[in-house]
Amino acid sequence: MKTYNLALIPGDGIGVDVTDAAIEVLGAAAKDRFAFKTTTFPWSCEYYLEHGSMMPDDGVETLRGFDAIYLGAVGWPETVPDSVSLHGLLLPIRKAFNQYANIRPHRLLAGVEGPLKTEGFDILCIRENTEGEYSGAGGRVHQGKDNEVAVETSVFTRAGVERILRFGFEQARARRGLLTSVTKSNAQKYSMVFWDEVTRELAAEYPDVTVSHMHIDAMAAKMVMAPQDLDVVVASNLFGDILTDLGAAIQGGLGFAASANINPDRSAPSMFEPVHGSAPDIAGKNIANPIAAIWSVAQMLEHLGEADAAAAVLGAIETATGKGIGIRPGLNTTQEITAAVIAALEA
C-alpha cells in the first residue's frame, strides 16, 4: 500500500476548522486503499505575530519533499495586512513550486440550489497561477508625497501563457471539447493580444477542441446568463481570480468552491485549498461549510493517482448534499456535514 506524506497548513480562521474536517474525511477515504502521514505546520498570521514572518526562511524548502500540501486558509487582516500574509505564504508557495494551473470546478452539487434559474452547468475554470497581473513586479516611489507613483506590471511570458493554455486544451479534450479563452484584448493591446495569438497557435494542434475567445466583461455576464454553454474556461491570474468567485457564487457560495494549485510536470508538490478565505467572523464556531475543503481533498486524491478514492469522496459529498445536508448556510454544523460525508463513504 502506498503511503503519502502530506504537509498540512491549516492557516487562519476557518482554515483550521475545515482542514480538520478534510483530513477526517481523508482518513475515511484511505481505508484499505492507501496510507498517509501528515505533518502540520503552524504557519499563519498568529505565527507571524510571534516570529515576524509567515513561515521560516526555509519554509518552501521544507515543503518540497512532501507528496502534496493541503492548505486551509490564510489571512487575519485585523492583525496582519492581507498584502503581507498572502505574499508571505500562499503566493510564494504557488510560485516556488510552479503550481501554474489553478483548477476550480463550478457546478451544482446534488441538492444544492444556486441563485440562478438554470438546469445546471459544469464549468472547469483554469486560472494561470504564477504570473500575469499577480507577478509581483512593480514598485512605489516618493511614497506618501504628492508626486507618489505606484507601478504594478503584468508579466506574460510565452512559456507561461503557452503552458496554461496547453493544460486547458488537454482538459477540454478529456471533457466536452470546448475551450473558452478569456482576455480583454480589445483594451489591453499587448499582453492580451499576445494571449489570443498563442491560443490560436495552439488551437491548430487541437483540432478536436472547439475554441472560443471571450472578453472578461462579456464572460462575467455569460456565467450568469448561460453558464450551461461553458466547459473549460482558461484565464489569466486576475481574470481567473475574479471569475472563480463568480463561479463560486453561481454554484451556491464559497462553501462549495474547491481549488487545486497544480504543478502539472510534478517537479514539486501541488497544493490543495478551498477558494474561501479564513472568515474571521465565523472562525472556531463549528459552522463553516467544509464541503469546498473536502472537495479539494478529492482533487488531491485525483492528482496523487487515487482516482477511486477521489470518486468515492465526491460521491459521498453528493450523497450528503442530496439528502439536504449542508446545502444552505446555517443548516448544519461543520461536524454534522463532515460526519454525513464520512457516513456516506463508509456505507
Task: Indicate the residue among 296 and 321 with the shorter CB distance to ligand IPM.
Answer: 296
Annotated catalytic residue: which of 2, 245, 285, 308?
245
Question: Is 100 among the catalytic positions?
Answer: no
Asked if 86 is part of the footprint of ligand IPM (rule: CB under 6 A), the reply reads: yes
Counting Cα atoms < 13 Å in the Cβ hemisphere of 191 gives: 18
Asked if 128 is part of the footprint of Mn ion (rule: CB under 5 A), the reply reads: no
Asked if 275 is part of the footprint of ligand IPM (rule: CB under 6 A), the reply reads: yes
Residue 86 near which of ligand IPM, Mn ion, none (CB within 5-8 Å, type-dependent): ligand IPM
Question: Quick one: which of 24, 241, 306, 318 contacts Mn ion (CB under 5 A)?
Answer: 241
Segment near Mn ion (CB under 5 A), from 14-22, 122-130, 241-249, 262-270?
241-249
Task: Indicate the residue among 36 and 97 with the shorter CB distance to ligand IPM.
Answer: 97
How many angstroms separate the CA atoms of 24 and 252, rounded? 24
HEC string for 165-234: HHHHHHHHHHCCCEEEEEECCCCCCCHHHHHHHHHHHHHCCCCCCEEEEEEHHHHHHHHHHCHHHCCEEE
H-helix or E-strand spanning residue 153: strand 149-155
How many angstroms separate the CA atoms of 268 and 285, rounded? 35
Residue 198 near which of ligand IPM, Mn ion, none (CB within 5-8 Å, type-dependent): none
Tally of residues, the chain: 347
Question: Quick one: which of 20, 128, 241, 302 contacts ligand IPM (CB under 6 A)?
Answer: 241
Asked if 273 is part of the footprint of Mn ion (rule: CB under 5 A), the reply reads: no
Annotated catalytic residue: which of 4, 47, 134, 206?
134
> Do the beta carbons of residue 297 and residue 338 sit within 8 Å?
no
Asked if 84 is part of the footprint of ligand IPM (rule: CB under 6 A), the reply reads: no
How many angstroms separate the CA atoms of 59 and 57, rounded? 6
Task: Indicate the residue among 84 and 86 with the shorter CB distance to ligand IPM.
Answer: 86
Specify the pairing of strand 232-235 against strand 122-128.
parallel
Task: Indicate the residue among 168 and 274 with the shorter CB distance to Mn ion.
Answer: 274
Asked if 12 is part of the footprint of ligand IPM (rule: CB under 6 A), the reply reads: no
Residue identified by cell 486547458 is 168
C-alpha cell at 283: 472562525
Q: Which residues are catalytic?
A: 134, 184, 217, 241, 245
* Contact residues for Mn ion, defined by CB under 5 A: 241
* Contact residues for ligand IPM, defined by CB under 6 A: 86, 241, 275
